[in-house]
Structure 1
Amino acid sequence: MKTWLRNLMDATSVMTTTRAIFDLVMLSTKELGFEHFSYIHVDATNLSRLTTLSNFPPQWQARYLEGRYDAFDPVLSRARQCAHAFLWNGEELLRGSRASIRKMFIEAYDLGIRAGVAIPFETGLRGRGIFMLTTADPHRLQSLKLDPVLSVNAVTLLHARIEACAAELPSSPIPDLSGRQAMTLKWSAEGRTMRDIAKIENTSYSNVHFHLINAKKALRADTLPQATAVATKLGLI
């Protein structure tokens, strides 16, 4: 998981829009073999200021809020009490649990949320948050080796970029690049060939070509050097 976390940090550092961050994390989640991710941050100075970013099924997000599952969710409870990343398995948490928790996990199971990785993090002014990856296959956790320090560093950087994007109010429309478009364009700007980028990003040559073509279209550039110049000037990479 160390390589995945480092790649996430590299990519996150050049993201300039919330959409790009969402695209990036969703694709990265699937590359690691998980289906869903969730980022939640609570500002301790203003408890009504809750920031979330997630690709959980809408019906699960609605049930979670309506049922106020956050009040007794054992994964969330553990995240509030510890400061390091941990793995969780719904089957283990169900044993000896009360009816409300069993109901919550049964609903989660129906939507393929059965196990996962949780990474709690702290921010300034006693703010707290959690980043989570979930899977329908608990066996997926067996091959994972968590790095507590790198996990927190990666998620804290992700939080910082999300906060920065939310605070930016551009005076004029800026082209919106997806996470993959921005990342491939960044590597290209550093002189990497498409084959180099494919190897670095663990993807195919055709995928790199696809993202660069779409990046040029989004930036209304005729050539790749022109696209990287425009993206650099606009602060997109």
Structure 2
Amino acid sequence: MDPNLRSLIDMLEAAHDEYMIKSALRNFAHSHGYDRFAYLQTEGLDIRTFNSYPKSWQGIYLGGKYSRIDPVVTEAKRRREIFFWTADDWPTRGSSPLRRFRDEAVDHGIRCGVTIPVEGSFGSTMMLTFASREREVDISGLLNAKKAVQVVMALHYQLKIIAATTAVSPKRMLSPREMTCVMWAIRGKNALETAMLIGITTRTVQHHLDNARKKFNAKTVPQLVALAKDRGLV
């Protein structure tokens, strides 16, 4: 596995604010020849994003509702594995919205990239993209699939933790690992299945779930899940 990927996971889980998260993602992106990063979560037609793209592009993308036609988003929803993409494969003729999207993306330095998609709860999709202005910077073959998913989940829940710090007592804040285990429990995974998915032992998964239950005074995992959802953590 790329050692930088392991370092990125550690840095995300240790981050205390959005600045630290952005710094970790930028460092990883630059170490592999990418200029920008973008985390995107879609649920129906709604999107949430955390990225380092130019503000002018963010305005165009959100204002034009480009997530509905973005080939990267479409592909991420269709497949559940790391993939490389390039704007050179998108339409280059005519005056369609997709052609305009391509031209504007390239003008803003977004020409190729690698995307890690993860299926979320309630039909949502989470994806982390690293993009470059160059024609081809493909590191998809270098990324361990399970660790790449762990990066996305660590980012997702760390952003939730930061957003919830003003509303939830610090004593009840779940650690990134605890939140990851709770997330898989929501999706119906038992301790053994969760252990296999995130690369830790079954006993460690149970330990994280037990700690989470204690923090929320929950007697069962289903009760823990309900309480965590009620507080906006999952």
TM-score normalized with structure 1 length: 0.63
Instruction: Supply the distance in 1 between the matched residues of 2:139 and 2:52 (Cα, whole angstroms).
Output: 24
Q: Per-residue displacement from partner, 1:106-134 (whole Å, max 9, x unpaired)?
A: 11111111000111112334432111110
The answer for the alignment partner of 1:93 in structure 2 is 90
Equivalent in the alignment of 1:81:
78
**Residue type of the alignment partner of 1:67:** G
What is the alpha-carbon distance in structure 2 between the residues aligned to residue 85 and residue 97 of structure 1? 30
Partner of 1:177: none
1:173-205 CA-to-partner distances (Å, cap 9, x unmatched) read xxxxxxxxxxxxxxxxxxxxxxxxxxxxxxxxx
For the pair 1:128 / 2:144, whether they are aligned, the reply is: no
SS of 1:138 mapped into structure 2: coil
Partners in 1 of 2:72 and 2:140 — Cα distance?
20
Distance 1:7 1:112 in 2: 26
Q: Does 1:157 align with 2:154?
A: yes
Taking a change above 3 Å as real, the CA distance of residues 143 and 154 of structure 1, as seen in their structure-2 partners, is closer
Which residue identity lines up with residue 99 of structure 2 in the other structure? Answer: R
Cα distance in 1, alignment partners of residues 25 and 162 from structure 2: 15
In the aligned structure 2, how far is the partner of 1:101 from the partner of 1:10? 38
1:29 aligns with 2:26: no
User: What is the SS of the residue equivalent to 1:118?
Assistant: strand
Aligned residue for 1:176?
Answer: none
Aligned to 2:182: none
1:146 and 2:143 are equivalent in the alignment? yes
Q: 1:43 to 1:66 in 2, by over 3 A?
A: closer
1:105 deviation in Å? 0.9
Give distance in 2, aligned partners of 1:97 and 1:145: 36
Q: Provide the rounded CA distance (Å) in 1 between the counterparts of 2:38 and 2:109.
A: 14
**Cα distance change of structure 1 residues 63 and 162 upon mapping to structure 2, 3 Å threshold:** same
> Separation in 2 of the partners of 1:76 and 1:113?
14
Q: How does 1:61-210 map to 2 (within 5 A)?
A: 61-94=58-91, 99-141=96-138, 145-169=142-166
Distance in 2 between the 1:97 and 1:88 partners? 21
Change (3 A) 1:145 1:98: farther
Cα contact 1:85–1:152 (8 A) shared by 2: no
**2:206 matched residue in structure 1:** none
Contact kept? 1:18, 1:166, Cα under 8 Å: no
- In structure 2, how many angstroms separate the alpha carbons of the residues matched to 1:152 and 1:132? 12
CA deviation map 1:45-82 (0-9, x unaligned): xx75x432111011111111222211111111011111
Show structure 1 runs of 5+ residues with no match: 172-237
- Larger Rg, first or second structure (1 or 2): 1
Contact 1:33/1:140 (CA < 8 Å) preserved in 2?
Answer: yes
Cα distance change, pair 6–96 in 1 and its aligned pair in 2 (3 A) = farther
- RMSD, aligned CA: 2.5
Q: Distance in 2 between matches of 1:81 and 1:97?
A: 26
Amino acid at match of 1:28: F
Count of matched residue pairs = 168
Distance 1:18 1:98, change over 3 A: same
| Cα offset, 1:27, TM superposition | 2.6
Alignment match, 1:16: 16
Q: Is 2:51 the counterpart of 1:54? A: yes
Deviations 1:13-50 (A, max 9, x none): 11121222122212322222111111112457xx75x4
Percent identity, aligned pairs only, is 26
| 2:33 alignment partner, SS class | coil
Contact kept, 8 Å, 1:39 with 1:53, in 2: the verdict is: yes
Counterparts of 2:67 and 2:133, CA distance in 1: 21
TM-superposed deviation, 1:91: 0.4
Contact 1:86 1:146 in 2 (8 A): no
